[in-house]
């Protein structure tokens, strides 16, 4: 089958905007730049880099990403008002290819929030899109909650946006309410009935509340949409957004019935997925399509036997198509620096000599405790190395816990705070509780522990545990992750990492930095 431009589907990645809205998924400035760089390299067409008016931090991240991007269009989000749009333009204008994205909720429920009549809203859309178009020749309009908007009014909003100069029309399923047949029909009907539909690109933006985001996005493409909005690992508020890796691989693997193509280099998927999981603190579920740990694992005897005879027996795509190295060469304590460098390179980490030295020391320490070091162990190790960089105020130096069948358990902890070592003993209900109490004794603080999660990185009793901790203080949220063969040590390090991040955030949130009344929550 020949591919024409009409079959090209644009990939709009919103990991850094809709994905980052997910409570607890907040990323640092450097992390956002790194993820944007990876997305650009992998061939994503449009990167929605943030919501510039939301905070100084968002503005700075969007403008830095705009300056850095080589190929992708860099887009910022703005509500439908001039102040938001101007701020968005200030941030994206540095990009080689900038885009302003502006939106308003058009469904009855969403119209009630700003308390606008249909007439008033129609006028607002006309004015805002015109204003955005006067600043930038690439403007995306979204009728938020489109799938619950009355047909006549939805069509009217799109008509107005196109006439005012929008170049992309996005039809969001903001609350994950639609279903595939309806999703395809809606786009098909809009394209057939709206004046000027041929002049613009129709986009689909689906949330996964009913688990249908991928199906709904692909159905929208069948209906004529040529831009899919999605996130890596399906990150996003509530049940998340459409997962980039799922729609891209679906079109590739089932090209026979979905004859569309994207510009994404699929062999980069695994690395980006790992990095997003690490920096967002949102682990990928084991059985997640494409990027889950078990997506290419064949456990049962029948499956393994079939796989050995012919991989296609149970595999519809090859692991290397998504960037999983075919050979999982296991590393151990005899592996040298060169082997570690090449292994890490395969896993997507290109290290400078000094970084490699540091990681090599940690690798040797791990290999001494663990007979075999698997790919996942190395990814966990790299995550810890990155985490160390922010451990500037608090560091765990020594931890010994006494546990047994009789409560209470106790923890001896030495922690370095701002350069000075402090030692305490604390008791608690279990070793982790005792350890967290010891941290609090050394560094008193009042935060809410929102999440405490333990995952075994690999199999076996010597497996490392990855612990994720999420802390909240006055609406600020920070996550920490750490891995160790000792679960309690990993817990202490993860907690301290989250605490360090929270302290950084507390220091950075200068009064007035957050624009009043602007909340990510407003935008679904």
- Residue 228 within binding range of ligand KIV, rule CB under 6 A: no
Quick one: how far is CA 5 from the chain centroid? 29
Instruction: Name the 3-class secondary structure at 511.
Output: coil
Hey, how many other C-beta atoms are within 10 angstroms of the C-beta on 222?
Answer: 17
Task: Give the residue ranges of DSSP H helices in 290-449.
Answer: 301-309, 337-346, 353-369, 375-388, 431-442
Residue from 87, 110, 156, 205 touching ligand KIV (CB under 6 A): that is 205
Residue from 174, 214, 262, 266 touching ligand KIV (CB under 6 A): that is 174
Site size for ligand KIV, by CB under 6 A?
Answer: 11
Of the two residues 141 and 349, which places its CB atom closer to ligand KIV in the complex? 141
**Closest approach of Cβ 524 to ligand KIV, in Å?**
4
Which is nearest to 380 in space by CA: 261, 463, 471?
463
Q: Which of ligand KIV, Zn ion, none lies near 142, with the C-beta cut-off 5 to 8 A by kind? A: ligand KIV
CA distances from 493 to 217, 225, 360, 431, 509 (A): 40, 46, 20, 14, 24
| CA terminus-to-terminus distance, the chain | 39
**Closest approach of Cβ 524 to Zn ion, in Å?**
5
Question: Among 111-119, 130-138, 169-177, 421-429, which window interacts with ligand KIV (CB under 6 A)?
Answer: 169-177
**Closest approach of Cβ 386 to ligand KIV, in Å?**
28
Q: Which residues contact 142 (CB under 8 A, 6 or more apart)?
A: 101, 102, 103, 170, 171, 172, 205
Site size for Zn ion, by CB under 5 A?
Answer: 1
Of the two residues 113 and 454, which places its CB atom closer to Zn ion in the complex? 113
Phi, psi dihedral angles at 243 (to 5 degrees): -85, 125
Angle, alpha carbons 13-40-26 (nearest 5°): 55
Residue from 18, 40, 58, 245 touching Zn ion (CB under 5 A): that is 18
Binding mask 83-122 for ligand KIV (x = CB under 6 A): --------------------x-------------------
Q: Which residues contact 212 (CB under 8 A, 6 or more apart)?
A: 176, 178, 179, 180, 206
Q: Which of Zn ion, ligand KIV, none lies near 103, with the C-beta cut-off 5 to 8 A by kind? A: ligand KIV
- Residue 142 within binding range of ligand KIV, rule CB under 6 A: yes
Token duo for residue 72:
């992708």
Hey, how many other C-beta atoms are within 10 angstroms of the C-beta on 429?
Answer: 11
- Residue 234 within binding range of ligand KIV, rule CB under 6 A: no
Question: Among 166-174, 177-185, 462-470, 511-519, which window interacts with ligand KIV (CB under 6 A)?
Answer: 166-174
Residue from 19, 240, 480, 524 touching ligand KIV (CB under 6 A): that is 524
- Residue 76 within binding range of ligand KIV, rule CB under 6 A: no
Q: Tell whether omega for the bond before 210 is within 30 degrees of 0, i.e. cis.
A: no
Question: Among 13-21, 298-306, 383-391, 450-458, which window interacts with Zn ion (CB under 5 A)?
Answer: 13-21
Q: Tell whether omega for the bond before 135 is within 30 degrees of 0, i.e. cis.
A: no
Q: Which of ligand KIV, Zn ion, none lies near 216, with the C-beta cut-off 5 to 8 A by kind? A: none
Burial of 139 (0-12, 13-18, 19+ CB in 10 A): buried
- Residue 13 within binding range of Zn ion, rule CB under 5 A: no
Angle, alpha carbons 429-431-433 (nearest 5°): 50
Of the two residues 12 and 436, which places its CB atom closer to Zn ion in the complex? 12
Instruction: Name the 3-class secondary structure at 138.
Output: coil
Which positions touch ligand KIV (CB under 6 A)? 18, 103, 142, 144, 170, 172, 174, 205, 207, 523-524
Which positions touch Zn ion (CB under 5 A)? 18
């Amino acid at each position: 089958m020949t591919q024409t431009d009409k079959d090209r589907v644009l990939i709009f990645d919103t990991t850094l905007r809709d994905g980052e809205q997910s409570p607890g998924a907040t990323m640092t400035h450097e992390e956002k730049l790194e993820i944007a760089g990876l997305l650009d390299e992998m061939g994503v067409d449009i990167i929605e880099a943030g919501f510039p008016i939301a905070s100084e931090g968002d503005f700075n991240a969007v403008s830095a990403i705009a300056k850095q991007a080589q190929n992708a269009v860099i887009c910022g989000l703005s509500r439908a008002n001039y102040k938001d749009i101007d701020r968005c333009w200030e941030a994206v204008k540095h990009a080689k290819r900038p885009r302003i994205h502006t939106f308003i909720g058009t469904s009855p429920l969403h119209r009630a929030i700003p308390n606008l009549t249909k007439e008033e809203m129609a006028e607002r859309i006309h004015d805002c899109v015109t204003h955005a178009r006067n600043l930038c020749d690439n403007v995306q309009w979204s009728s938020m909650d489109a799938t619950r908007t009355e047909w006549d009014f939805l069509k009217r909003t799109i008509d107005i946006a196109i006439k005012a100069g929008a170049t992309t029309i996005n039809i969001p399923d903001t609350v994950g309410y639609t279903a595939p047949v309806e999703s395809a029909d809606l786009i098909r009907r809009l394209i057939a009935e709206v004046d000027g539909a041929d002049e613009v690109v129709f986009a689909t933006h689906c949330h996964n509340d009913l688990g249908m985001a991928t199906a709904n996005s692909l159905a929208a493409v069948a209906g004529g949409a040529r831009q899919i909005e999605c996130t890596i690992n399906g990150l996003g508020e509530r049940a998340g957004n459409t997962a980039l890796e799922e729609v891209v691989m679906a079109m590739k693997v089932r090209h026979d019935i979905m004859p569309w193509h994207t510009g994404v280099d699929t062999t980069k998927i695994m690395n980006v997925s790992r990095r997003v999981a690490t920096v967002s603190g949102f682990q990928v579920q084991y059985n997640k399509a494409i990027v889950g740990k078990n997506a290419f694992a064949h456990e049962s005897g029948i499956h393994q036997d079939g796989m050995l005879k012919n991989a296609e027996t149970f595999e519809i795509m090859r692991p290397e198509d998504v960037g999983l190295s075919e050979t999982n060469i296991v590393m151990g304590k005899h592996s040298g620096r060169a082997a570690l460098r090449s292994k890490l390179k395969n896993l997507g980490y290109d290290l400078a000599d000094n970084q490699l030295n540091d990681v090599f020391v940690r690798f040797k320490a791990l290999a001494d405790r663990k007979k075999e070091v698997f790919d996942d162990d190395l990814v966990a190790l790299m995550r810890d190395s990155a985490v160390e960089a922010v451990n500037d105020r608090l560091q765990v130096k020594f931890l010994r816990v006494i546990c047994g069948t009789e409560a209470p358990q106790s923890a001896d902890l030495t922690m370095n705070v701002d350069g000075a070592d402090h030692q305490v003993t604390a008791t608690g209900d279990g070793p982790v509780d005792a350890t967290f109490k010891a941290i609090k004794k050394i560094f008193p603080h009042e935060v809410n522990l929102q999440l405490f999660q333990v995952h075994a990185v690999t199999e076996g009793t010597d497996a490392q545990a990855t612990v994720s901790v999420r802390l909240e203080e006055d609406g600020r949220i920070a996550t920490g992750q750490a891995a160790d063969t000792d679960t309690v040590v990993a817990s202490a390090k993860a907690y301290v990492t989250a605490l360090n991040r929270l302290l950084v955030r507390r220091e950075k949130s200068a009064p007035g930095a957050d624009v009043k009344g602007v909340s990510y929550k407003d935008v679904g």
